[in-house]
Every structure is written in structure tokens, then in C-alpha cells.
Amino acid sequence: MGVLVKRFLEKSEELSSLIEKEGWVVRPYQSPALPYFRSLPDDMQNAACNELEKYLEICNEAQADGHAIKDARLLVNYALKYNGLYFNEDVYKVLEPGDVVEFYNHNHTQIFRTFNYFEYTSYTIEDIYCRPWFTLYERDQDITQKIIEMATPVFTGANLGVVFLDVGTHLITERTSLEKLQLRNKGNWVAPLFDENDVQIGYVNVLRVEPLL
């Protein structure tokens, strides 16, 4: 077993255990062979391990300070400080209790999420850290196209503000999970995400969702 594989196995199991303590169940992986992780080049495997370890450290730091990691706004602030990142302050103006906040890199792979994200997913931790979002979720094709058109200026750095993806309430469905969970998306905002040198490293995504019962 390679060093990176062993590292990812251990940390994904650690995060799965932490999630369970908070009342939700998210599997670390579907198979200990880690097919999605192993399919990544070495540099992306290392990056996935780093992001997973950073997320655990952020959660552990917040808990050590006596805070609840389910507090979305608080965990976002810890993540920004820990990683030396920032986004347009107007993001906080649209953020409401219960919203899911995600950070994505330029490969559209999720590198941070508020803890309530785990309430709404049946994907494994390997899926979340090793697969881009468009392979995990699907919407109506016309809505997806509109979202891409509206969000692309944020992805490319042409728009530095907070963009409301005005496509109306719609369903988001897990594409490849066993459970095929569905969510009702009631609102979606995106904004660029910058490092301390003012270089855009990805984007922040705010989701207002509820499970489809």
C-alpha cells in the first residue's frame, strides 16, 4: 500500500468518525481499494490528502476553542483564517442559517464545506475529495447550462462580486450514489475565492437546499 493511499484511508476514516459523532452517517469510501483516489495523478492525490487533513484540523481547532462545528458561519471563518483565504464580504449578506457553504478549486473539486453539507449527501468522503461536482450531481440540462453561463465570469475572474444564479427552485440529484438522494435547491450564489496574495484559487458556493422527502 502506497503512502498516499494509507494516508487518505486513515484520514477519511477519521472524518467519517467525526461526522458520526455529530449525528450523521457518511462512509469514508465504498472500497478500501480507493479507485477514484488511485485514478488521480500523484500531485492531485497529495492535494486531496492535504485538503482532507486541513479540514480535520479546522474542525478540531474550532472544537478545541469550545465551538460547535455545525455553526456554518463560524466554520467558514475558521477555514478562511486557516487557509489564508478571503472572499467578497457581500457573501455574508446572503448567508442565512441552514445554508451550505462550499469552497471549490479551479478543478471544480470541493476543498471545504460547512458541516451541514454532510446532512444532505450519501456520497463517500472519497467521492467528495476526488471527483469534480459535475460528475456527482445533475440538474435539468437547461438549468445546468444557465448556471454555467452565469457562473463562468466568476470562475474566470471576470466578475469579482457575488452572483445570484437566478434559475428558480429546482431539483439536484446525486448521479452515481447508491441512494440517489434529491435536494430542492431554493437559492444559489457564487463568488471568487482568493488567497492572501489576491490570486483567485477557486470560488465559494452558497446553497439554500432542503431534502426531498
Task: Please enumerate in sequence order all residues whose Cβ is within 8 A of that of 175, keeping only pairs 6 or more positions apart, or say none.
Answer: 135, 136, 137, 138
pLDDT value at 212 more than 90: no
Contact 70/95 with Cβ under 8 angstroms?
no
**Residue 182 CA: distances (Å) to CA of 68, 192, 209:** 27, 27, 10
How far is it, in rounded angstroms, from Cα 177 to Cα 193? 29
pTM assigned to the model: 0.91
Domain ranges for the chain, please list them: 3-211
pLDDT value at 10 more than 80: yes
Q: What is the mean pLDDT of the chain?
A: 96
pLDDT at 133: 87
Grid coordinates standing for 195?
488567497
How far is it, in rounded angstroms, from Cα 1 to Cα 160? 43
Q: How confident is the model at residue 134 (pLDDT cuts 50, 70, 90)?
A: confident
Q: H/E element holding 205?
A: strand 200-211
pLDDT value at 64 more than 80: yes
- pLDDT for 144-197, tens place per residue? 999 999 999 999 999 999 999 999 999 999 999 989 999 999 999 999 999 999
CATH topology of domain 3-211: Beta-Lactamase (3.30.450)
What would the mean pLDDT of 99-106 be, rounded to a whole number? 95
Task: Please enumerate in sequence order all residues whose Cβ is within 8 A of that of 108, keeping only pairs 6 or more positions apart, or say none.
Answer: 132, 133, 134
- pLDDT for 15-35, tens place per residue? 999 999 999 999 999 999 999
